[in-house]
Amino acid sequence: MRGAAAKMPTETVSSPTTEADFTLSNYKIPDTALPEFKDMPFEDIEELQLDHPGANDQEYRKRRGYIASLSKRFRETSEIIDVDYTDDEQAIWRHVASKLEVLHQKHASPFYLKAKRDLGITNDRIPQLSAMSRRLTETTGFRLAPIEGLVDTRAFLSWLSYRVMLSTQYIRHTSRPDYTPEPDIVHEIIGHQPMFTNPAFADYSQFVGHGARIANDKQIEELGRLYWFTVEFGLVQHEGEVKAYGAGLLSSFGELEHAFSDNVERRPFDLEQVINHDYTYSDMQPVLYVIPSYAELKEVTKKYIETFQ
């Protein structure tokens, strides 16, 4: 899967969003304190690029539109509607999950592997976001919110401040089960969800969200790069070895194999380097960064976000 399972939402905000001062600390958000989903410009889920595997499949586009409509209803009711996935969709999940499982055992971080088991994520069936959200809330206070399409970087990252991860529910096209040009349910569940049960990683993600709410345009670009090289394409030291924890790696056969090949420069994590490191989302990443621990990533990021004040 060449680069694409972890496409970041495109930045469209031209001026910083100003908010009242709030404490840059980690805290859990009760349901009653969540802001409403509003003024969030979604990309049209049926507007697929010509090189998208499902671009000329009208039934696939119709199906994506239907699943997107369920996500839209969440924004009206705050209740996640389960998707009755078809046999073909379940078959895609089984193919991808089984193939990834082999690579995970070799390259994924031990925390990720345990969390994946604890969440009950298997190769057999597509988990429902409602069940995953409940389990995350029980562990670190994170919750999932289904969305019908991509949103801009500021909006996407800002929801992390409320310990909310925006997630799609549709799945990639059956003709290319090994590839998707945008995040799908495989990327969201297999890639992202296990790591949100790690307390330090969850806190780190919330700090990124805090930063997005108060960042100027330059800082939001920096946060986008930080997110890309950690949450999406991050590597971590573990007992003298390097392991993967980023969702863009863990949900992509090609990216995961590539990350541990001789074609990648694996650098020690350096915040200044990361936030100034441009990337091309559609290319295999030539440089990746290795954090010493999730706790250190959290503390370094907190100090960085404090400079936004």
According to DSSP, the β-strands at 265-268 and 287-291 are: parallel
Which of the following is catalytic: 192, 210, 222, 252? 192
Residues 126-138 as b or e (16 or more Cβ within 10 Å = b): bbbbeebbebbee
| 78-90 tens-digit pLDDT | 899 999 999 999 9
Provide the 3-class DSSP secondary structure of residue 28.
coil
Give the span between the Cα atoms of 233 and 249, in whole angstroms: 6
Contact at 8 Å (CB) between 182 and 4?
A: yes
Whether 232 is a known active-site residue: answer yes
| 293-302 tens-digit pLDDT | 999 999 999 9
Contact at 8 Å (CB) between 180 and 1?
A: yes
- CA–CA distance from 36 to each of 16, 29, 194, 209, 244 (Å)? 20, 13, 26, 16, 34
Which of the following is catalytic: 232, 252, 255, 258? 232
Residue 267 reports pLDDT greater than 50: yes
User: What confidence score (pLDDT) does residue 151 get?
Assistant: 82
Which of the following is catalytic: 71, 158, 161, 251? 251
Q: Pick the closest to residue 211 from 24, 21, 20 (CA basis).
A: 24
User: What confidence score (pLDDT) does residue 261 get?
Assistant: 97
Give the span between the Cα atoms of 130 and 151, in whole angstroms: 21
Tokens representing 12? 């469209």
Q: What is the 3-state secondary structure (H, E, C) of 237-286?
A: EECCEEEECCHHHHCCHHHHHHHCCCCCEEEECCHHHHHCCCCCCCCCCC
Beta bridge partners of 288: 266
Enumerate domains of the chain plus CATH numbers: 4-9+49-306 (1.10.800.10)
Residue-wise DSSP of 30-52: -GGGPPP--S--PPPTT---TTS
22 pLDDT band (50/70/90 cuts)? low
Q: Higher model confidence: residue 153 or residue 149?
A: 153
Which of the following is catalytic: 52, 107, 187, 210? 187
Whether 173 is a known active-site residue: answer no
